[in-house]
Amino acid sequence: MCRRVVDVIEPRTVTEALAGAAETTRGVIAIEHDGRSVPLPYRQLLADALTLAGALHARGLVPGDRVAIVLPEVSDFIQAFFGISAAGLVPVPLCPPAQAADLPTFARQSQHILMAARTAAVVTSVDVAPLLNVTGMLEPPSVVTIDQLRHGPALETPVRVSLASTALLQFTSGSTAGPKGVVLSHASLDANVNAITGPDGLAITPADVGVSWLPLYHDMGLIGMLLTAVYMAADVVVLSPVLFLKRPSAWLEAISHYGGTVSFAPNFAYDLCRRRVKPSQIDTLNLSSWRVAGCGAEPIRADSLAAFAAHFARAGFRESSFVPSYGLAEHALAVALSVDGLKVDVVDAERLVRESIAMPAVNGSPAVRIVGCGRAFPGHALTIVDDRLTGLPDRHVGSIVVRGPSMMDGYFEHPAATTEALSAGWLHTGDIGYLADGELYVCGRTKDLIIRQGRKYHPPDLESAIADVRGIPLAGVVVFGINHIEEADEVVAVVEARASAKPDAVIDHVRRRVRETAGLELDRVVVAPPGTIPRTTSGKVRRAETRVRFQAGTLLQSGRGI
């Protein structure tokens, strides 16, 4: 008889959760980039973790040391993560080279994180080890392959650590700034996992089956899908992100084949499946088991989700399964989940821009559609404040601040950034939004705000409007402002379009769309080939970096701008 882990309410460390799951017959199925399936029952995963933990200790590592993980194979990453945890060490997940933009980018980003985290070791593969650049570091980490750790000697039991100790050093995606190390305790992880899985969250039980292609070096893949399954002792299928990007249908095929009930993805993934999965493939799918279709990590477009639901309805997918969400690494993962389904607020674009008030649109006035992301979890708080940190009433746009047991301890060895983010018990998310009847609606990032003649424009709203132009995907649009001291500020839109597109026509359509929906005249519209816009390893556009490259003249190899 399997123990009902769902009934356990005492907070647990990561390894304690794995030990509880190991008393069941459930586990992980890893599907690698070439389609190979690797079963990892929790019982075997715990045994493997103890073997790797003992081998790490034998190499002189001591509890509290930080150990980076750079592993392309899904199964290897999972084993390494739990092995590091079982040793009382702190995992530091990194993006592997195959999922970085290019090898120079991988070398630069990995070296930055290894130095910032002061890692004692790196667990990697034979193929990746030569690509790591640890030269020039005062205390370079030891580089060890996972195969070198598989022979132990194994620990008899996991190293006991306190709930207050660091469970994970999660580096932010750096979509608006350089990556910083978010320090998450075991208590924070436990609190967030329980909020996500609890009765006011997704109401997960051990009978649920998770399916994910999300990168395990990203919080939504690691915490939202893998750790929630482990803490609940539920089965989970984890696909390689490389496999998904190469063949998006693999995600839906896995849900269909394994009877997946819970799966999350960013907005672009739903768009990608709608465009790439053929009708003949849809006929082979059964998505009727998919009760939680989460969406988050980037701006959510109601039109994208509605189009996906319509496209896959004949495979049994239900639009009511959508669960829009909002979160950030500094809050472990999730802040709010819209478990009551897809809620779309159609607000007056003019008042949103002019007054920072989100009032329902009437009489056909220009409107912006904003998706609701749910309410604060029990035991947590969420509110909207102005520049003076005074609470704002419903439908007034301001800064989103949150607090509760899921919050980070701070940024690793970055006291100034920690003080800026954590103030008077509140976490300042850096995001802008509003509340309506307790529901959170997110408008964008504080630092990305564009102000033109006293009116405030949120880039995600402008980007969503531009993405309505035929042939321009949402993931291929960036809007940003450029501040000048002695000249008028500029508003620039960079759009990626296929080679067959006529640049002049694209520019005209983009200008007209923004003018009609937001009343804003764009100063520059740049039409560029796909792949021009820099992105984080999790697929988010790097708006700040795009702006810097544009100003430096290094964004375009070729392109057309007016």
pLDDT digits (tens, 9 = 90+) for 295-331: 988 778 898 899 999 999 999 999 999 999 999 999 9
Query: Which domain-ending residue is among 447, 477, 504?
Result: 447
Q: What is the mean pLDDT of the chain?
A: 90
Identify whether 274 is part of a domain: no
Query: Which domain-ending residue is among 447, 463, 498?
Result: 447
Identify whether 297 is part of a domain: no
- CATH (domain of 413): 2.30.38.10
What phi, psi does 210 have (nearest 5°)?
Answer: -85, 145
Which segments of 98-180 are extended strands (E)? Answer: 121-124, 142-145, 166-171
Q: Same domain for 435 and 462? A: no
CA dihedral (181, 186, 191, 194) positive or negative = positive
Q: Same domain for 454 and 408? A: no
Q: Same domain for 349 and 491? A: no
Q: For the ranges 69-78, 210-219, 221-230, 363-372, which has the lowest average pLDDT?
A: 363-372
Give yes or no for a cis peptide into 153 (omega within 30° of 0): yes
Q: Same domain for 386 and 415? A: yes
Count of domains forming the chain: 3
Distance CA(422)–CA(426), nearest Å, equals 6
Q: Same domain for 424 and 460? A: no
What phi, psi does 140 have (nearest 5°)?
Answer: -60, 140
Confidence of residue 4 (pLDDT cuts 50, 70, 90): very low
Q: Same domain for 124 and 223? A: yes
Cross-strand bridge partners of residue 481: 491
Distance CA(358)–CA(355), nearest Å, equals 9
Identify whether 413 is part of a domain: yes
Query: Which domain-ending residue is among 423, 447, 471?
Result: 447
- Range of the structural domain that residue 464 is part of: 449-561
Q: Same domain for 497 and 514? A: yes
Q: Same domain for 411 and 541? A: no
With the CA atoms of 495, 498, 500 and 501 taken in that order, what torsion angle do they form, in degrees rounded to the nearest 10?
Answer: -20
Identify whether 45 is part of a domain: yes
Q: Same domain for 439 and 462? A: no
- CATH (domain of 94): 3.40.50.12780
Q: Same domain for 467 and 439? A: no
Under a CB-based contact definition with an 8 Å cutoff, are residues 470 and 497 in contact? no
- CATH (domain of 502): 3.30.300.30
Q: Same domain for 13 and 108? A: yes
CA dihedral (93, 97, 99, 105) positive or negative = positive
Identify whether 136 is part of a domain: yes
Distance CA(296)–CA(268), nearest Å, equals 10
Distance CA(286)–CA(215), nearest Å, equals 24
Cross-strand bridge partners of residue 370: 345
Confidence of residue 6 (pLDDT cuts 50, 70, 90): very low
Q: Same domain for 441 and 487? A: no
Between helix 186-197 and helix 14-21 the angle, nearest 10°, is 50
Q: What is the pTM of this model?
A: 0.84
- One-letter amino acid at 308 equals F
pLDDT at 545 over 70: yes
pLDDT digits (tens, 9 = 90+) for 462-485: 888 888 887 787 678 999 988 654
Identify whether 395 is part of a domain: yes
Distance CA(493)–CA(271), nearest Å, equals 21
Identify whether 302 is part of a domain: no
- One-letter amino acid at 156 equals E
Helices (H) and strands (E) in the chain, counts: 18, 29
User: What percentage of residues in the chain have a pLDDT greater than 90?
Assistant: 67
Identify whether 499 is part of a domain: yes
Distance CA(98)–CA(100), nearest Å, equals 6
Under a CB-based contact definition with an 8 Å cutoff, are residues 85 and 91 in contact? yes
Element (H, E) at 47: helix 42-58
